[in-house]
């Protein structure tokens, strides 16, 4: 997968200069597109993969890291209903006062066939509070799913932007290598006629070898990032070309607007759900002070035309000794809620710190991008042209010429790096606003 050469590269491919030995050579290289095609193992695709499309694909991919939270939430919804039901009734069937000397059912008046039913009722509002606790746990799982979706959107943007940078690095390295390769040919011809020194040739060949090594590193980065992107959007879309134009991201709110939205961020919602869970634990622990009871109904059938017996009984729990049981449970539940509130406060501080750092980084990177676009790139180009004039007039050496030309290309690559870094910072700010796309 490779990007097509930009208009600026096409312009450079037709510019050539005359060296001090009278030989014409191209400083920036001819046939860059052909070299890029050789460097890329995959044929050019007619369809591009835009950043917004990549994010949409990743969010619609039914990622298991998201669906697992939804499944857990649905499981907790089911448990909320099940846990709020009465315990199953108990059936009792037995034979009472049966004589073992004669085994005659009608011998004794108290011999009975007994059938009974017992239904237990939990203490106070334990069932309803347990249902509320399960729903709170489910809300936490759903918030975790939303947080994972935000993370997927952030990861997709970051990887796509990083891949965009390395495609630019591939083009820049190809330009550098083409320029230096042609200089090597020119210097070899000049060295044969005694015009240039052997040191110029060795310097050019060394630079060429270093560029070959950088090209290998660029391909390694591209392959690794393509694999990372394929994990999020699939193998097919990840193999498509990236556009040459720099992508646009959703507009950001004002800094204060982003800060105001931190309280509703999914990571904070998770902490809120945990506070709700611990609050329900307190309510459940308080129900332990109330007595639970069981209703016991029984029927005893006797033989010999004797009257049958019916019985009804209520059994109560008597919570008398609460110091080391109920009191301790309530205290423990309160401490858990206090800890959960501290966790939420810590999460808000963490998000606030991330916002301060990222927003400042985004603003300063914007200033640097503007400086490079307005001043640095133009000066680097002017310096390269001045070095060329000096070399043609034999007032500058070859080392200065090649250094200035490569510095100009490095400046363009640095500008691309700054743009990508700023876009990645903007992606992190979008993550803090809770926006997926």
Alpha helices in 193-297, H assignment, sequence order: 198-233, 235-238, 255-260, 266-287
The pLDDT value given to residue 193: 62
The pLDDT value given to residue 194: 59
What is 7-62+155-288+325-433's CATH number?
1.20.1600.10
CA–CA dist 340, 164 (Å, integer) = 42
Per-residue pLDDT band at 101 (split at 50, 70, 90): confident
Burial of 235 (0-12, 13-18, 19+ CB in 10 A): exposed
| Angle at CA of residue 391, ends 385 and 393, nearest 5° | 105
Reported pTM: 0.79
Residue 177: name the closest of 139, 215, 203, 142 by CA.
Answer: 215
The pLDDT value given to residue 108: 86
Query: Under the phi-then-psi rule, with left for phi > 0, alpha for psi from -120 to 50, and beta for the rest, what region is 94?
Result: beta
Q: Residues 396-407: what's their mean pLDDT?
A: 76
Whether residue 29 is predicted with pLDDT greater than 60 in this model: the reply is no
The pLDDT value given to residue 358: 96
Lookup: tokens for 84: 């709020």
The pLDDT value given to residue 10: 40
Q: Residues 206-228: what's their mean pLDDT?
A: 91
Least confident of 67-71, 355-359, 397-401: 397-401
The pLDDT value given to residue 339: 97
Whether residue 9 is predicted with pLDDT greater than 80 in this model: the reply is no
The pLDDT value given to residue 45: 41
Whether residue 106 is predicted with pLDDT greater than 90 in this model: the reply is no
Q: Residues 41-49: what's their mean pLDDT?
A: 57
Q: Residues 354-364: what's their mean pLDDT?
A: 96
The pLDDT value given to residue 195: 55
The pLDDT value given to residue 15: 35
Between the alpha carbon of residue 20 and those of residues 74, 180, 394, the distances in Å are 78, 17, 7
The pLDDT value given to residue 34: 37
The two beta strands, 293-301 and 90-96, are unpaired
Whether residue 198 is predicted with pLDDT greater than 60 in this model: the reply is yes
Whether residue 303 is predicted with pLDDT greater than 70 in this model: the reply is yes
Q: What is the mean pLDDT of the chain?
A: 85
| Angle at CA of residue 194, ends 188 and 198, nearest 5° | 55
The pLDDT value given to residue 229: 95
For residues 186 and 36, the model is more confident at 186
Q: What is the tens place of the pLDDT at every residue in 244-278?
A: 899 989 888 899 999 999 999 999 999 999 999 99
For residues 220 and 178, the model is more confident at 220
The pLDDT value given to residue 191: 62
């Amino acid at each position: 997968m490779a990007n097509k050469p930009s208009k600026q590269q096409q312009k450079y491919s037709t510019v050539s200069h005359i060296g001090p030995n009278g030989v014409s050579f191209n400083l920036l290289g001819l046939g860059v597109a052909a070299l890029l095609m050789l460097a890329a193992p995959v044929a050019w695709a007619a369809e591009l993969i835009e950043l917004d499309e990549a994010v949409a694909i990743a969010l619609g991919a039914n990622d298991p890291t998201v669906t697992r939270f939804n499944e857990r939430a649905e499981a907790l919804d089911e448990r909320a209903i099940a846990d709020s039901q009465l315990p199953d009734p108990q059936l009792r069937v037995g034979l009472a006062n049966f004589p073992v000397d004669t085994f005659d059912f009608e011998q004794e008046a108290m011999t009975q066939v007994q059938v009974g039913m017992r239904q237990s009722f939990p203490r106070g509002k334990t069932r309803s509070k347990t249902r509320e606790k399960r729903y709170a746990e489910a809300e936490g799982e759903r918030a975790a799913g939303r947080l994972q979706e935000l993370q997927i959107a952030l990861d997709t943007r970051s990887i796509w932007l990083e891949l965009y940078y390395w495609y630019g690095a591939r083009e820049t390295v190809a330009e550098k290598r083409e320029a230096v390769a042609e200089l090597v040919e020119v210097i070899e011809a000049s060295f044969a006629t005694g015009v240039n020194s052997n040191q110029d040739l060795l310097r050019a060949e060394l630079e060429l070898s270093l560029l070959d090594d950088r090209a290998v590193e660029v391909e390694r980065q591209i392959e690794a990032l393509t694999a990372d992107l394929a994990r999020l959007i699939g193998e097919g879309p990840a193999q498509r070309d990236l556009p040459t134009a720099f992508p646009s991201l959703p507009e950001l709110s004002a800094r204060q607007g982003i800060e105001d939205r931190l309280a509703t961020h999914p990571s904070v919602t998770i902490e809120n759900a945990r506070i709700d869970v611990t609050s329900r634990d307190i309510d459940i622990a308080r129900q332990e002070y109330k007595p639970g009871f069981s209703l016991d109904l029984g029927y005893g059938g006797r033989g010999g035309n004797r009257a049958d017996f019916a019985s009804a009984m209520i059994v109560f729990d008597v919570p008398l000794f609460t110091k080391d049981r109920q009191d301790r449970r309530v205290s423990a539940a309160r401490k858990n809620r206090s800890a959960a509130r501290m966790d939420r406060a810590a999460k808000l501080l963490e998000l606030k710190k991330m916002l301060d750092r990222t927003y400042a980084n985004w603003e300063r990177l914007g200033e640097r991008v503007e400086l490079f676009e307005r001043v640095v790139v133009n000066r680097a180009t002017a310096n390269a042209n001045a070095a060329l004039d000096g070399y043609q007039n034999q007032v500058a050496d070859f080392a200065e010429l090649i250094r200035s030309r490569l510095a100009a290309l490095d400046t363009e690559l640095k500008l691309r790096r700054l743009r990508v870094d700023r876009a990645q910072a903007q992606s992190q700010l979008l993550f803090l606003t809770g926006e997926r796309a």
